Each structure stands twice: as C-alpha cells, then as structure tokens.
A and B are shown apart, each in its own frame.
Chain A
C-alpha cells in the first residue's frame, strides 16, 4: 500500500492511425499525494490530455496502453468498465477544457448535477436537488435555486465551468483531473474560476492534477510541476525550482513566453522557434533538439533520460528536481530564457 492517491508508472500510450502508430505518451511516471496539487505543462500535443484521459480510463478504443496507473491503489488499466464507473465520480473526477461543449445541451444544469449525485448515492430526487443547489452555491453561482432549472446555453462560459466543477466535486472524489480548465475562458473570468477550483479543493480535500500550457496559471497554485514535451516528462520538480532554476532549455522557452506586468521593461518576451515534432513512428535523439539553441552532436543521436539535477537544492523523495537534458547541470545555471532570441512581435498572440 502506498500513500499516493494517484501513481503512474512507465505509462506508454500508442494510437493506431492511418498514418502509422502515434506514440502519444512515452514512459511517463509520477506520483500524487493526497491533497497535493501537481501541474502538468506543455504545448498542445505534448501528451498532457492523454495522460489525464488515461488516468480515468476514457481513452479512445484505438489506444493501446502499457504501464500501470493506480488510483487509490486500484489499477485503472485492468479494470472492467463496471468497476471503472464505480471509480469515476467517487474517487476520480474530471474537468474538461471547454465548458461550452462538456455539458449536455439538452438537460438543465440541475438535472446534470442530480444525475452525478444519484449515480453513486442512494438519495431521493428531492434530496439530490437540495444537494445540487448547495453545490452550485459552493462554486459561487448566485440565485442557485433558480439557476438549477437553466440550460447550459443560458449560462456564461465561466458559470458553466463552475457547474462542471460542482459536478466534479459532487461525490467528494480524492483526485480531480482538470484539463486546461481555464483555457477556453475570458482572461477576466480565468482567475475567478481558478479561485472556485481552489475553494472546491479546500472543501472536498481532493488532490488535483492541473493540466495547462500556461505556466502563469500554475504559478500560485501547484506544489509541483511536470513539464511534458513530445509525450515525455522532460523536467519535474517543485514550483520554485522550475520557475527560478529551470534545467531544460524547453522549460526556459516556456518561461520566456509568459508576459508579466512587472518585467515588461527589463525582460523582453521570448519565443521558442519552430514547432513540436510529429509523434508518428520512432525518433532518435532528443525530441527538442531541432528547436534547441544549445543543440550539440549528442542531442541528435541520444535521447536523454530524466535524471536528477545535481545542483538541485531539494532532495525529498518524489519531488526531486529532474531534467531530461544532456546538459541539465549547465542549463540550470543560466538566466531564465536567455538562450532564446528576443521576439519583437506582439506578445498577446504568443501567450495564448
């Protein structure tokens, strides 16, 4: 028995497509302790979403999965569909990216919350409705009683996402997986929804996997960060270490692309040139090599392992600073993002 609420070991996910086998996830491992918040960062297509879908057993049938995923010490990969549906909602819940599409348009908000409650609790419709109203109030929806009878299209984007959060916490899950929960929302609403999510965690005492491509979202929220690139974890560690002493050029690139109000004058916005590799077939070398300004001969021939950063100050088990770069120990000493060229183009586009 481990104390971890979610434990992923050596996860590999392949998709069969007509263009060939796509290796969406390659050897991802991490653990999540109760009530811990872990952030997974990376560009789209880096395998973040696939990791979360795999954790709740929702991958498409064209996927082949190897490795182990334990949620509350139960193996998700070997479960029957029936066991999975007992697990979903009660132990693990999920929040999807686009609240415009993740609620069923033909049922009222109240109906959909009640449905979630009654899937796992033996309560009457009336009791469930009272509970649904309480949940809506918890996530900060005014006039909750009236709002129960609204359809999703009568809610704003931010309110819908709150409703989705209410559904997620309906059965007090131990883990919530949030896949880009604020990406589809207006910037002004993002902070409110994050605050709602924080409240939901405090009340339900759930652990959270927060998936995003936006380091800014994670900054004040997560305890630890995993940086993913091309289906692998390329750097992991405590938030402060990743932010102030990144040991992987890709992480430097991500940090360089966050606009921040107080640094506008001193640090220019930088961007990572090029785009992520396709994940079809097999590759040799570091997947980031093609875009890396520090690329050396070895990067093209040998794929670096995710290993401890020697200069790391933290060594507590599970949250050590690790990096998949041949030159991690040199990179970690460089000023953040200094290796990338300045981008003089408008940065509003890049921060998206």
Chain B
C-alpha cells in the first residue's frame, strides 16, 4: 500500500533523528510537522480566523485609508450594511477603526516578537552554553525583571510614551525589552540538555569552534521552541498593549488600538453595545487564534513535549 510506505519512511527518519540528535535540516521532518499541523483542527481554525482578520484589515486600509478617523456624521448608529460594526459617539465607522487597530497591534506585536527572539535566544544561548558565572549573572537579571509585574513596569514607563513622536515604536521597544525573558529561559534549558549530547561532543572532537557549534548544531535544535514561543509572544504583546491602552497609558489618539477602542466603548456599553462588543471580540479572536496557531505549532514541531491538548 502506498500510504503505508510513505508513513514508514517518515517514522524511520524521525526516529533516526531522535537517536542521533543531528540538527534538523531533514525535509521529511518538516513534512511530518506540516502534516501534524494541518491535521490539528483548532490550529486550522486559528489560522483561518487570523487570516480573515488580517485580510479584512489590509483590505479596509487599502480601500478606505482614512476611514478610522473620518467623521461620517452618523452618530451612535447600530451595525448595518453601511456600517458593519456601527459607528461611535463622534461618528467614526467602527469597522474601519477596528481594522486599523488590528494592524497597529500586529505591527507592535511583530516588533516585540522579533526583539524577544533575538534577545531571548542570545541571552539563553550564552547562559546555557557557557554556564558558570555568566549563566548566574544572566539568570539573576531575568529573575530581577520577573520580580516586578511587567504591567507595573510598563505603567511606570508609560509617562514617556505619550510625549514621544513615534509612540507606537517606543511602546513596541518597551514591550520587547520586557518580553524576552521567557524565551531566554527556555533556550537556556534546551542548551543545557543539548550541550551534553553526543553529537555536540562529536562536533567538538572534530574541531568545530564554539560559534559553529552554537549556530550550526544547537540553535537549529531549538528552532521548534523558538518558533512556538515567538508566536505566543505575539499574543502576549497584543494582550499587554491592549491593557495599557485600556488604562489610557499606551497609545493616544489619533493613533488607534483595540484596547483604546474597548476603553472608549466602555462608557456606552449598556446602551450602544456594539461600541464595546466589536472591538472586544476582535481583540479576543485575534489573541485566541494566535494561541491556537502556537499550540498547533508546538504539537507539530515537538510532539513529545508537554502541550495543552493532545
């Protein structure tokens, strides 16, 4: 049977990789991971929702670039075909505003995620590979950042945000500076266990220098962990940013973010439900979909690791 034959080779390659621990450039391993991911119903659900929201927001920005700040003259209108999500008290089309907010949030979240990956991997790799005093120092630093709630640090530093010309970029850097600790801890833990493995010994015996071992042997083996947590960092960044904006401490008008829209909708929540419900639902959906994608990636890339579902 044809299906059996392919399944067999996949398993064999997979176990071979496991036993040797060689760095994962194997095509079939990725193929297997891809297949696992696409068999995960919640992950697919997340991917679809996420894509729909992104397509919607890009389309809206292209078709109606200033929609998020245009005063339509329709005040407090309930959702209709004309205004899909209704309008706000000052007459802004809520759909446009939400879509603009999505783009803004995602832009910030992407910067945060990239920063976390770069900082987290660097710190984690250094601490895990070299160990000793460097490890102690870096991990104490991580402990220190985790001792005070991230939100509280952001609130204190928020004084600086509103005054800046490029507030969203500044906010993104702040969030990034606080979000890398998790990835750092995970990468360190992986490095600690990987550096004792035979293939690293073998590489060292063959005369590979530290740089080569780190970049060619160790980091490729952490790609799974890093990818998954880069995704989860996106969700975390959106959560944090929206919370700050809700408190009125993040971005300020004319910029738009989902947290800000929820906060603006709060006052009218009982009478004009849509002003609260739509921004809040979009916010929830986008974070939820990113979580589902992240969890799907986790089980696809590293099925043996603990995961939320199985």
Residue numbers of A with Cβ under 8 A of B are 17-20, 278, 280-282
Q: Which of B1-31 contact A (CB under 8 A)?
A: 1, 3-5, 7-8, 10-12
Task: Tell me the smallest distance from the CB of B136 to a CB of chain A, in Å.
Answer: 26
Q: Are B1 and A280 in contact (CB under 8 A)?
A: no
Assuming A19-B10, A19-B11, is B36 touching A281 (CB within 8 A)?
no
Q: Are A19 and B1 in contact (CB under 8 A)?
A: no
Docked CA distance A329–B90 (Å): 96
Chain B residues with Cβ under 8 A from A278's Cβ? Answer: 8, 11-12
Chain A residues with Cβ under 8 A from B5's Cβ? Answer: 281
Chain B residues with Cβ under 8 A from A20's Cβ? Answer: 3-4, 7-8
Chain A residues with Cβ under 8 A from B303's Cβ? Answer: 18
Docked CA distance A19–B7 (Å): 5
Measured CB to CB, the nearest residue on chain A to B303 is A18
**Chain B interface, number of residues (Cβ within 8 angstroms):** 12
Docked CA distance A20–B8 (Å): 8
Docked CA distance A19–B32 (Å): 9
Given A18-B39, A282-B1, A282-B4, output 12 extra A-B contacts at Cβ < 8 Å.
A17-B11, A18-B36, A19-B10, A19-B11, A20-B7, A20-B8, A278-B8, A278-B11, A280-B4, A281-B4, A281-B5, A281-B7
Measured CB to CB, the nearest residue on chain B to A17 is B11
Measured CB to CB, the nearest residue on chain A to B4 is A281
Docked CA distance A141–B108 (Å): 64
Docked CA distance A18–B11 (Å): 9
Task: Tell me the smallest distance from the CB of A43 to a CB of chain B, in Å.
Answer: 14
26 pairs across A/B with beta carbons < 8 Å? A17-B11, A18-B36, A18-B39, A18-B303, A19-B7, A19-B8, A19-B10, A19-B11, A20-B3, A20-B4, A20-B7, A20-B8, A278-B8, A278-B11, A278-B12, A280-B4, A280-B7, A280-B8, A280-B11, A281-B1, A281-B4, A281-B5, A281-B7, A281-B8, A282-B1, A282-B4
Chain A residues with Cβ under 8 A from B12's Cβ? Answer: 278
Task: Tell me the smallest distance from the CB of A280 to a CB of chain B, in Å.
Answer: 5
Residue numbers of B with Cβ under 8 A of A are 1, 3-5, 7-8, 10-12, 36, 39, 303
Measured CB to CB, the nearest residue on chain A to B5 is A281
Measured CB to CB, the nearest residue on chain B to A281 is B4
Chain A residues with Cβ under 8 A from B36's Cβ? Answer: 18
Docked CA distance A278–B7 (Å): 10
Docked CA distance A18–B5 (Å): 14
Docked CA distance A282–B8 (Å): 11
Task: Tell me the smallest distance from the CB of B26 to a CB of chain A, in Å.
Answer: 15
Docked CA distance A102–B11 (Å): 28
Task: Tell me the smallest distance from the CB of A52 to a CB of chain B, in Å.
Answer: 22
Docked CA distance A280–B3 (Å): 11
Task: Tell me the smallest distance from the CB of A315 to a CB of chain B, in Å.
Answer: 41
Docked CA distance A20–B10 (Å): 11
Task: Tell me the smallest distance from the CB of B279 to a CB of chain A, in Å.
Answer: 40
Task: Tell me the smallest distance from the CB of B71 to a CB of chain A, in Å.
Answer: 55
Chain B residues with Cβ under 8 A from A282's Cβ? Answer: 1, 4
Measured CB to CB, the nearest residue on chain B to A277 is B8
Measured CB to CB, the nearest residue on chain A to B12 is A278
Docked CA distance A283–B5 (Å): 10
Docked CA distance A340–B7 (Å): 31
Task: Tell me the smallest distance from the CB of A20 to a CB of chain B, in Å.
Answer: 4
Task: Tell me the smallest distance from the CB of A106 to a CB of chain B, in Å.
Answer: 20
Chain A residues with Cβ under 8 A from B7's Cβ? Answer: 19-20, 280-281
Measured CB to CB, the nearest residue on chain A to B11 is A19
Docked CA distance A282–B4 (Å): 8
Q: 4 nearest interchain CB pairs?
A: A281-B4, A19-B11, A20-B7, A19-B7
Docked CA distance A18–B36 (Å): 8
Chain A residues with Cβ under 8 A from B39's Cβ? Answer: 18
Docked CA distance A217–B3 (Å): 41
Chain B residues with Cβ under 8 A from A281's Cβ? Answer: 1, 4-5, 7-8
Chain A residues with Cβ under 8 A from B4's Cβ? Answer: 20, 280-282
Docked CA distance A282–B7 (Å): 12
Docked CA distance A67–B276 (Å): 62
Task: Tell me the smallest distance from the CB of A281 to a CB of chain B, in Å.
Answer: 3
Docked CA distance A349–B12 (Å): 22
Docked CA distance A208–B106 (Å): 64
Chain B residues with Cβ under 8 A from A17's Cβ? Answer: 11
Task: Tell me the smallest distance from the CB of A134 to a CB of chain B, in Å.
Answer: 41
Measured CB to CB, the nearest residue on chain B to A278 is B8
Measured CB to CB, the nearest residue on chain A to B35 is A18
Docked CA distance A18–B304 (Å): 13
Docked CA distance A61–B303 (Å): 18
Chain B residues with Cβ under 8 A from A280's Cβ? Answer: 4, 7-8, 11
Task: Tell me the smallest distance from the CB of B32 to a CB of chain A, in Å.
Answer: 8
Chain B residues with Cβ under 8 A from A18's Cβ? Answer: 36, 39, 303
Task: Tell me the smallest distance from the CB of B303 to a CB of chain A, in Å.
Answer: 8
Docked CA distance A18–B299 (Å): 12
Measured CB to CB, the nearest residue on chain A to B1 is A281
Chain B residues with Cβ under 8 A from A19's Cβ? Answer: 7-8, 10-11
Chain A residues with Cβ under 8 A from B8's Cβ? Answer: 19-20, 278, 280-281
Task: Tell me the smallest distance from the CB of B308 to a CB of chain A, in Å.
Answer: 18
Measured CB to CB, the nearest residue on chain B to A280 is B8
Docked CA distance A278–B16 (Å): 12
Docked CA distance A92–B303 (Å): 34
Docked CA distance A280–B12 (Å): 10
Task: Tell me the smallest distance from the CB of B198 to a CB of chain A, in Å.
Answer: 13
Docked CA distance A20–B12 (Å): 13
Docked CA distance A18–B300 (Å): 11
Task: Tell me the smallest distance from the CB of A278 to a CB of chain B, in Å.
Answer: 5
Task: Tell me the smallest distance from the CB of B293 to a CB of chain A, in Å.
Answer: 20
Docked CA distance A17–B36 (Å): 12
